[in-house]
Chains A and B, each alone.
Chain A
Amino acid sequence: MNSEPVNAYNKPSQLDRFEIRIAGFGGQGVVTIGRILGVAFTVHDRKNSVNTQSYGPESRGGACRSEIVMSDGDINYPYVRKADVFVCLSQTAYDTYIHDLKEDGLLLLDPNSVPTDSIDDGYKFYSIPAMELARQIGSVKFQNTVALGALYVLIKEHLNEESLRKAIAESVPRETLEENIKAFGIGLEHMKAHYAE
C-alpha cells in the first residue's frame, strides 16, 4: 500500500450494471449457479463480477438466494439493486423478490414451482420445467444446471457460451460432469425450442 492518498476512482462509477438474482430453496443448487456464473464472467470472460449469497439462519434448508452483479467496469455496491434477470425456483422466492425486478426485467421460472397464472401483469416471463427435465437425466439434482442452460439463452449477449461451459467443468464434481453438460444442453435447447430468438 502506498502511504499517500490515492484516487482510486478515476473512471466514473459504472452505472451499467447487469444484475442477476437466482432464488429458491436450499438444496436446489442456487448457490452453485451463482458461483459458476461468477467464474464464467470473471475468470474466462475477463469481466468484473461479484457473487453474494443469502446469508443467515434461513439459508440452512429454507429459502436460498444467490446474486451476481456483472460489469465491464468496477462494481461498488455488491448486491442487486434492481435485477435485470430473476431466476425464480419457488413461490416464496417469487413473493419475496418479484418487486425488485426491473420493469423490463426478464423472469425465468419453473412452472411446477411457481404457477404461471399467478405472475403479475407486465413481467415478461419464460418457463423452464427444470425439475421435470432434470428427472429425465436421472436426478432432480441437475435442475440447477438445466435452469442455467435456460438462463444462458437470456443473457448470451453478455456471456460467451464457451466460458460458461468451462466454468461448469471447473465447478462440478468430475463424476457428474457428463450429466451436468447434458442438463445444460437440455435447458438451452428447451428455451430455443419454445421461445423464438
Chain B
Amino acid sequence: MPNNRHIQPGVHYLQGSQACVEGAIIAGCRVYGGYPITPASEVMEHAALRIPQIGGRFIQMEDEIASACILLGASWGGAKAMTATSSPGFSLMQETISYGIMSETPLVIVDVQRPGPGQGYITTSQEDVMQARWGHHGEGSIIALAPASVQEMFEFTIEAFNLSEKWRTPVLLMAEETVAHMRERLIVPPLEEIRIVNRKKPQDLGIAPENYLPWGHDMVAPMANWGEGYNVNLIGLVHLEDGNVTKYDLQMHDACVKRFYHKIEDNVDTISQIETAHFEKCKHLVVCYGSVSRTAIEAVTEARKEHNLEIGYLRLKTLWPFPEKKLRSLIKKVDTIFVPEMNLGMMKHPITEALRDRCRKIISIPSLGSLHTPEYILSVIHEELK
C-alpha cells in the first residue's frame, strides 16, 4: 500500500530520471541494481537516495551485466526490480534479457539512449530501438515503451512494471537523454487511483507445491518465488511445463518457445498503445515515437495552420510488440508517411512492412545526436510535397 514515503499527489517539478524512479517506487520496485553511465546516471543516483527510504535495497554493481543479473535474482527472490543504463550498457544486458524471456522473469530495464556505435556520444538518440527488439539472442518477443515527457517517465515506468508482472517477461523503457534530463511538470494523482499489477501466485490459485508447474497451468504461468517451498528449478534451457529438461524433443522445444513468443505477439492489441491527432481524413501522416513526437506535433500543427497541409500525427507509445494490425486498421489510405527518428530510419522498417500498400511513399526524417527542430521536420515535408 502507498504510504507517506511515496511521492505525494499534486504538482511536482522533476527531471525525467527522477520521475522514473518515483514511478518505479509506486509500482512496487524494492530492488535496484545499477552501474553508472552517462546519460542514465541520474536515474541511479535518485534510486540510491529513494529506494532505502522506502525499505528497499539499492546496490551499485561492478558492471551492467551484474546489474541486469541483480534483477533476475531479485525477481525470483520475490521483489520487483529495476535498473537503468544507456546504450553501451544496454548491449551488455542482452544476454540477461534473453534469459529473462526464456525463464519468464518479470523485470524492468530503462535504457536512456545515447548515440552509437561504439562510445558514440553522450547526447540523445533513438538508436537502440532495434536492439530492444532484436538485440537478445534467440526467438522470443519483448515489450518496449517509449515515453515522451516527464509525466510519461512516471506513468510508463509504472506501466512497465505492470506489464512485466502481468505477462511475466522483461519490459524495456526506451527513454532518451532528452526526456530523462528535462525538467517538467509531473502531476501525481491520488495514489489509490494508480493501478498496480502483481504477479499471479500459485498460492492464491490454490495450487499446492506438489502440483505446481512453474511454466504451466496457463498461457502466463503463476510464479512461485524462491523461499516459498515450491522447489522451483529456474531454468534457461527449453523445458517442459514442470521445468524438466530430460525429455527433450523437438515438439517440446517448439511448444516451449512458441508459448512465450505468442503470449506477447498474440496480445499486441491489448499491450500496444497508439496516440493520434489531426488524424481523421488526413492526406499525409507523421508517424513518430518518444520525444521526437513533441517536435512532430509542433511541426504538424504548424503545417496545418500556416500552410493548409492536410497532415496528421500518429505516435507509437509502445514500440514492441509492433502493432501492425492496429496500424492497418487505422490507416486505410494516405499519400505520404513521414517518419522522424533520432536514428537513420530504424522504425521505418516495421512501419513500411505494415503500411507499404496503404500509402504512396514513406519518407525517413533522420537525426543523429539531437532532437529534430520543428523547422527541420517542416522543411523535409515541404521539400517532399512541393
Contacts and interface: CB of A to CB of B under 8 A. Distances in A.
Asked if chains A and B come from one complex, the reply is: yes
Interface of A: 1-3, 5-9, 12-13, 15, 35, 38-39, 42-43, 46, 48-53, 55-57, 75-79, 81
Contact of A3 (B270, B279, B373): B270
A23 B85 CA distance: 29
A53 B12 CA distance: 18
B297 A13 contact: yes
A13 B277 CA distance: 11
Contacts of B297: 9, 13, 76
Contacts of A42: 11, 13, 184-185
Contacts of A43: 11-13
Nearest to B152: A1
B41 interface: no
B295 A77 contact: yes
Contacts of B270: 3
B88 interface: no
B275 A13 contact: no
B182 A7 contact: no
B104 interface: no
Given A5-B274, A55-B123, A13 B183 contact: no
B226 to A, nearest CB: 31
B269 interface: yes
Contacts of B277: 7-9
A38 B183 CA distance: 8
A94 B275 CA distance: 40
Contact of B155 (A1, A46, A53, A56): A1
24 contacts: A1-B156, A1-B159, A1-B273, A3-B270, A3-B273, A7-B276, A9-B278, A9-B301, A38-B183, A42-B185, A43-B12, A46-B11, A50-B183, A51-B13, A53-B181, A55-B39, A55-B123, A56-B122, A75-B184, A76-B295, A76-B298, A76-B301, A77-B373, A81-B374
Nearest to B179: A78
The 5 A-B residue pairs with the shortest CB-CB distance in the complex, in nearest-first order: A13-B301, A51-B183, A9-B277, A76-B298, A76-B294
Contact of B294 (A2, A39, A51, A78): A78
A42 B149 CA distance: 15
Given A5-B276, A48-B185, A79 B122 contact: no
Q: Is the interface of A mostly helix, strand, loop or mixed?
A: loop
B144 interface: no
B34 to A, nearest CB: 20
A5 B185 CA distance: 24
Given A5-B330, A77-B374, A51 B184 contact: yes
Given A3-B273, A76-B294, A55 B181 contact: yes
A1 to B, nearest CB: 5
A15 B294 CA distance: 13
Nearest to A170: B13
A117 to B, nearest CB: 33
Contacts of A3: 269-270, 272-273
B291 interface: yes
A75 to B, nearest CB: 8
A69 to B, nearest CB: 10
Contacts of B273: 1-3
Nearest to B156: A1
B24 interface: no
Contacts of B247: none
Contact of A57 (B122, B155, B371): B122
Nearest to B183: A51
A67 B371 CA distance: 15
Contacts of A8: 275, 277
B11 A35 contact: no
Nearest to A51: B183
Contacts of B284: none
B185 A78 contact: no
Interface in B261-276: 269-270, 272-276
Interface in B135-187: 155-156, 159, 177-178, 181-185
A91 B297 CA distance: 35
Given A42-B11, A43-B12, A12 B305 contact: yes
B30 interface: no
Nearest to A66: B183
Contacts of A77: 294-295, 298, 371, 373-374
A115 to B, nearest CB: 31
Given A6-B275, A81-B374, A49 B184 contact: yes
